[in-house]
A and B are shown apart, each in its own frame.
Chain A
Amino acid sequence: MFERFPDIAQYPTHWQHDLILPYEELPTHEALRASGLETVLNYKDRPNVVGVIKGSGRGRSLILNGHIDTVTIEPTGSWTRDPFGAEIVEGRMYGRGTSDMKGGLMAALLAMTYLKEAGVRLRGDVVFQSVVNEEHAGNGTLDLVRRGIKADAAIVLEPTENQIFVSHPGGLYWQVAIPGVPRSPGARWQAGQQDGVSAIEKLPAVIDSLIALEREYNRIPPNDPLERDGAAFSLVMGRIAGGHYETVTAAEVTIKGGAYFSSRVGSVQDVMARFRGAIGGANKRDPFLSRNPAKLTFLHHDDSTMQRPDIPLASAMSETLARRGVDGAVRHGAFCCDMRHLVNQGGIPGIIFGPGTIAQAHKPDEHIPVDEYLAAIGHLVEFIYHWCNADAVEAAAPRF
């Protein structure tokens, strides 16, 4: 996989695995096992679970993809509800992963379950994918793509408030380490020459260069009507650390941040090259940094996904939602997710669609509206029925 996708499968998860549960304990597993559908395709000892409802033939196939990993519950002191309590209060279920994205994952599994229990025969295959590692690199989904599991379309069940997202930005985590020369006030100047240099003094050169890059990117006009309200590039400087003592020039300062970017600014490799250029320019312009360059490191990088809003999958979901009396507009998503691997590496048209909101993701007191979760099950039941019973244009049966 790493040979085939060298720029995507990048940083393996570093968490210890001492709490991994056997896959038999997955709540999803019993339903899958009882139906005879389940297959476990482990990714580095973590369970990627795949279940297939086999169609009778000649219908369109569909992948339902969701991640089973969540982010941390830290800061734990900020939660007012039990992060693992699943308490339902005023129509909202609280807990880590309710929106991101156990709600969507379970909605998909239950939609398949209810179709099967109701005795509905589908012509196309339905492939359920419960994947690991989405919150880190997306290697769970990428591993299934690498194995050649294909379908005519894929729904990634990330939280969209049951709206249809057909594209999403790319993202970077980056850090810049700026050097200095530590000296006390008495030693900062030696024989009229500056000897001590605080890394803090060099911050403006680096920051100005990055802000200039953002400004330059955002002069690029939208080339997609779905993106007309969105920025081409959004830079976040989230953390800064450095220095040892008040009266010693800082030996190093590290800035860490992130960036989201539209596909209209180029690929993730293009953006990384421009980042390197921005920091290289700052180094070149400053005499001290030209001899002691600030060092840029990418901690994580994801490509964007861009598809036409009228792909058959999006249109079909739009029609389903319209029939069910809800908003079926197709939109541009504002967050990165595993759809990039299914679309960019797998060549499978995809949409993001699921209950809950990305605004709840990764935060204390994460919750999901229960009625939205239940509605998603109904939406998916109806969508799967129509999609998988339509004629396949080109058969793309799952392969293992």
Chain B
Amino acid sequence: MTLETETPAARASTRDPLAAALAHATANEQRSNEALTTLVRIPSLTGEEGKAQRASRPCCARSGPRSSPKSRTSRQCSSDFRTSRSIRRTGSTT
């Protein structure tokens, strides 16, 4: 997620700033979904979430915001989750 300095929305804002900002938000819905996706894929941001999060792989978190959310699919994360669950069920540790 980066901030652009000069966008069509910015140019339009001189006429109706609010309308331009709302249009910009609407035009960026995909980006909004990706931003939330990235955030949800981080198991623990503060260390306060408990044992289960500690046992989960912070698979997407480590790549951080610098990687494109598109590069990580929910299938990859689900695979990681299933793996971590099976590890816990068999009593193995990592």
- List 28 A-B pairs, Cβ < 8 Å: A15-B49, A19-B43, A19-B47, A19-B54, A27-B38, A27-B64, A30-B65, A35-B3, A68-B45, A69-B49, A72-B52, A73-B53, A82-B74, A83-B81, A84-B40, A84-B43, A86-B37, A86-B77, A95-B41, A97-B40, A102-B36, A117-B7, A118-B17, A118-B23, A120-B20, A135-B48, A374-B29, A378-B25
Kindly identify which residue among A19, A24, A381 contacts B21, using a CB–CB cutoff of 8 Å: A381
If over half of B's interface residues share one DSSP class (helix, strand or loop), that class is named, otherwise mixed; here it is helix
Tell whether, in the assembled complex, residue A87 and residue B74 are in contact, meaning their CB atoms are under 8 Å apart. Answer: yes
A15 near B64 (CB under 8 angstroms)?
Answer: no
Contact A46 B48 (CB under 8 A): yes
Known: A30-B65, A86-B40. A117 touches B3 (CB 8 A): yes
Please give me the residue from chain A that is nearest to B61 by CB atom: A21
Complex Cα distance A86/B77, Å? 9
A176 within 8 A of B: no
Q: Are A120 and B21 touching (Cβ within 8 A)?
A: yes
Judge whether B36 and A120 touch: CB under 8 Å.
no
Contact B65 A34 (CB under 8 A): no
Which residues of chain B in 12-65 are interfacial with respect to chain A, using CB atoms and an 8 Å cutoff? 12-14, 17-18, 20-26, 28-29, 32-33, 35-54, 56, 58-62, 64-65
Instruction: List the B side residues contacting A136 at CB < 8 Å.
Output: 48
B residues less than 8 Å from A70 (CB atoms): 49
> Is A115 at the interface (CB under 8 A from chain B)?
yes
Interface size class of chain B, counting residues whose CB lies under 8 Å from the partner chain? 35 or more
Q: Is A378 a contact of B85 with CB atoms below 8 Å?
A: no
A31 adjacent to B2 (CB under 8 Å): yes
Chain A residues with a Cβ closer than 8 Å to the other chain, count: 71
Q: Does A47 contact B (CB under 8 A)?
A: yes
Q: Which residue of A lies closest to B11 (CB)?
A: A119
Scoring B9, B28, B32, B38 by chain A CB atoms within 10 A of each residue's CB, the highest score goes to: B32
Q: Check if A76 sits within 8 Å of B52, measured CB to CB.
A: yes
Known: A18-B54, A34-B2. A119 touches B10 (CB 8 A): yes
Question: A220: CB under 8 A from chain B?
Answer: no
